[in-house]
């Protein structure tokens, strides 16, 4: 039952090595999680930017509008029944393929 000093030191060294392996494994998993979550954020940012650019290309007048004025305009536009119908039709066409 009693271990010699050399055996204890060897066991200690092995356990320290295992601990480092587990730390590295944990770090790799954290990096993977960050990669996927940041990837989603980057995709969302890209989508928002490109859609905003499309709006500005169709209606250049919005470039000079404040954020609040633009938001009010968008809310008014999307509250129109004709626009809501167009949005629904486009979304359904997208889903149908």
Look at the block and give the residue holding tokens 């500005």.
56
The terminus-to-terminus CA distance of the chain in angstroms comes to 71
Angle (CA) 82 84 88, round 5°: 120
Q: Where are the domains positioned within the chain? A: 1-60, 65-97
Q: Model confidence at 55, in pLDDT bands (50, 70, 90)? A: very high
pLDDT at 82: 96
Lowest mean pLDDT among 26-30, 50-54, 75-79, 89-93: 89-93
pLDDT at 40: 84
Q: Model confidence at 1, in pLDDT bands (50, 70, 90)? A: low
User: Stretch 89-95: mean pLDDT, rounded?
Assistant: 88
SS3 16: helix
């Amino acid at each position: 039952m009693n271990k010699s000093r050399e055996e204890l030191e060897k066991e200690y060294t092995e356990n320290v090595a295992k601990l480092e392996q587990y730390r590295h494994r944990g770090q790799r998993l954290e990096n993977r999680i960050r990669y996927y979550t940041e990837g989603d954020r980057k995709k969302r940012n890209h989508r928002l930017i490109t859609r905003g650019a499309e709006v500005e290309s169709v209606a250049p007048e919005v470039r000079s509008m404040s954020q609040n004025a633009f938001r009010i305009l968008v809310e008014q536009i999307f509250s129109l029944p004709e626009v809501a119908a167009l949005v629904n039709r486009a979304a359904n066409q997208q889903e149908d393929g």
